[in-house]
């Protein structure tokens, strides 16, 4: 009696295989250590020196989390710029497309691996939390919410940078485009931008512009103010750009 064809792996298994491949690849070169050391060093420098942690006389990590958008502005494009540009430049993307994997599996697996690596950099800053806990009695609930907000912000930036990486073979171009796109994503929440619209636009337009800013939603979360909209915003942006990423890959693959 002949055996039938082997069962097709589930979407979870296929995505997990890509995730493992990409995540372990980050640690196969010294660049991972350089990335993590630079992130932790700059985060500590900004927190203690520019943020004036000791001078403020308060046992909290507000100064640390206020710098996360600006660290992410450069570190997330640096992390996401090679997700697809290197695959396109080396021609290995054609090999990936021939595997028994869907475009969705590839996009989601690569994105989750990059996001997990960025979360590792956040986990390595936990000694700062321990230091604050030793110096005083911080609000741990707010700190946990702020870490979640930082992880969501990094995921939002990575989804945009991954999408832009699929548009070019040049990693440097992908990095520059990623920085510009993430900066615009943050800039719309600046008072100078909102004041410009306030001079001529109705209140509904100003609120719509502010709602487009990742910075506005991030700052609300790190203050410990929970609003469903502040969580739905990054999730919706991530889903939208991952969907566009898959469309770009399918479109370029059919050409």
pLDDT digits (tens, 9 = 90+) for 34-65: 999 999 999 988 887 766 666 666 667 888 89
Q: Is residue 97 part of a domain?
A: yes
How many domains does the structure of the chain reveal? 1
Domain that holds residue 20: 11-187+215-253
Are 156 and 238 spatial neighbours (Cβ–Cβ below 8 Å)? Answer: yes
Residue 6: inside a domain, yes or no?
A: no
Of the listed ranges 113-117, 169-173, 201-205, 238-242, the one predicted with least confidence:
201-205
CB-CB contact of 252 with 169 (8 Å): no
**Cα separation of the two ends of the chain:** 44
Q: Which residue's structure tokens are 């992390």?
A: 79
Whether residue 116 has pLDDT greater than 90: yes
Q: Which residues contact 252 (CB under 8 A, 6 or more apart)?
A: 88, 166
CA atoms within 13 A on the CB side of 62: 14
pLDDT digits (tens, 9 = 90+) for 148-200: 999 999 999 999 999 999 888 888 999 999 999 999 888 887 777 777 767 77
- Rg (the chain; Cα; Å): 20
Q: How many residues does the chain have?
A: 255
* 162's tokens: 């991954």
Q: What percentage of the chain reaches a pLDDT higher than 70?
A: 86
Alpha carbons within 13 angstroms on the beta-carbon side of residue 59 total 12
pLDDT of residue 249: 84
CA dihedral 100, 237, 149, 13 (to 10 degrees): -10
Helices (H), strands (E): how many in the chain? 15, 0
Residue 246 located in a structural domain: yes
Structural domain includes residue 205: no
208, part of any domain: no
d(CA 147, CA 37): 18
233 in Cβ contact with 211 (< 8 Å):
yes
Here the tokens at position 111 are 């994105």
Question: Above 50 in pLDDT, residue 254?
Answer: no
Q: Which of 148, 162, 157 is nearest to 237 (CA)?
A: 157
Cβ contacts of 151 within 8 Å, gap of 6 or more: 115, 118, 119, 122
Q: Between vectors from CA 18 to CA 115 and to CA 81, what angle results, nearest 5°?
A: 45
Please give the model's pTM, rounded to 2 decimal places: 0.88
Residue 5 Ramachandran class (φ > 0 left, ψ -120 to 50 alpha, else beta) = beta
Measured distance CA(75)–CA(80) in Å, rounded: 9
- Residue 99 included in any domain: yes
Q: For residue 24, is it within any domain?
A: yes
Looking at residue 1, its pLDDT comes to: 42
pLDDT higher than 60, residue 242? yes
Is residue 173 situated within a structural domain? Answer: yes
pLDDT higher at 21 or 253: 21
């Amino acid at each position: 009696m002949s055996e039938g064809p082997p069962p097709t792996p589930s979407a979870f298994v296929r995505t997990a295989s890509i995730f493992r491949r990409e995540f372990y690849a980050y640690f196969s070169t010294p660049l991972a250590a350089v990335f993590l050391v630079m992130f932790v060093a700059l985060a500590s420098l900004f927190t203690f020196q520019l943020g004036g942690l000791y001078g403020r006389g308060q046992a909290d990590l507000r100064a640390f989390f206020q710098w996360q958008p600006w660290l992410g502005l450069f570190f997330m494009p640096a992390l996401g710029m090679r997700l697809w540009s290197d695959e396109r430049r080396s021609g290995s993307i054609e090999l990936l497309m021939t595997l028994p994997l869907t475009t969705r599996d590839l996009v989601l697996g690569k994105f989750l691996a990059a996001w997990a690596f960025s979360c590792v950099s956040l986990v390595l800053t936990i000694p700062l939390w321990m230091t604050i806990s030793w110096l005083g009695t911080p609000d741990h609930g707010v700190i946990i919410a702020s870490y979640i907000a930082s992880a969501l912000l990094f995921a939002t930036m990575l989804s945009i940078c991954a999408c832009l990486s699929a548009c070019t073979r040049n990693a440097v171009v992908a990095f520059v485009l990623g920085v510009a796109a993430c900066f615009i994503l943050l800039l719309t929440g600046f008072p100078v931008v909102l004041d410009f619209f306030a001079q001529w636009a109705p209140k509904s337009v100003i609120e719509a512009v502010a709602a487009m800013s990742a910075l506005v939603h991030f700052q609300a979360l790190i203050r410990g103010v929970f609003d469903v909209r502040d969580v739905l915003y990054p999730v919706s942006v991530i889903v939208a750009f991952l969907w566009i990423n898959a469309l770009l890959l399918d479109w370029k693959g059919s050409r």
